[in-house]
Structure 1
Amino acid sequence: MNPYSHPAPQRPAGTRPLYKRKRVWAAGVALFAAGAIGGTQSAHDEVTAAQTLAAKPAATVTVTATATETAKPEPVPTVTKTKTKTVKTPGPTVTVTKAAQAAGSGTSHSNTSTCSIVSNSGNCYQAGQFCRNSDHGALTTTASGARIKCSYSSNAWRWTYS
């Protein structure tokens, strides 16, 4: 029989050959079984994880407090005899010295003026410099003879023109 010379037998419409139907059924059953096994394994893993979390022992805290109080005698006042001695310390003395201007000098200032309060290095203060703690509120002059006062300004004690 030559397949080219004879027409192939016709099957009814909508049917498949028997060998193809068996393969489709076998593949369907295999997929269903694999899904069922995978689903049960997944559910088994979830149950195992939940049991593991539930099986962990919870931490328990036990607090035991004991208080003991011992009786102490009240303190008795002691009498001591002291001698009082009054010590007087002199406060800072502020003196301001102005030098006399030379005759005929007109508007020029004399460089011979002295300042009453000097820095630790021996120099006269200028306006804007910081004051020492011992100079708070004191008055003095600059080297040029201008009056300055130690006052609280800009969050610090500074020498300012008065």
Structure 2
Amino acid sequence: MLGARAWLGRVLLLPRAGEETRMAQSPAPIPCQPTTCSSSMGHKDWMDKCVCLLTAFSEHMRRVPVALPEMVHAFSAQQQTLKQIVICGDRQAKDTKALVRCVHSVYIPNKVLILADGDPLSFLSCQLPFLSTLRRLEDQATAYVCENQACSMPITDPCELRKLLHP
């Protein structure tokens, strides 16, 4: 029994609020967050471990279906390309808020939204070095849509961002 937390490599798997009971009933860890982390941080070894977890617990999923939704989500995340949407701008600025609203207005099941405020010493900048290569365009909040380790050209207009997000 894993209890309320489990380790996958160096990633701690924590249940969300209210899931402690479900995890106590089911020894299957919830690998959903590491699949997202592995894609966004480029750690193929994490993805390999997640695939092994999904394979190892496939029989358990048949016997204890209460854990199935999280495993299906993890499998879906593993099968689909993760979209990382990076918005470079001041959190309180109107243009930044407009780009964030635009991202939230489009259903994208496998996305990560990152707000980069330009601080090179921030936690995110230290963990995701590629953020240092993304800049605001002409002092405006700027969005980048990244997939498969490649980012789009900079976008400052919410309508253009919507077109890119919702083809």
Q: TM-score, normalised by structure 2?
A: 0.17
Greater helix proportion: 2
Structure of greater relative contact order (alpha carbons < 8 Å, 6+ residues apart): 2
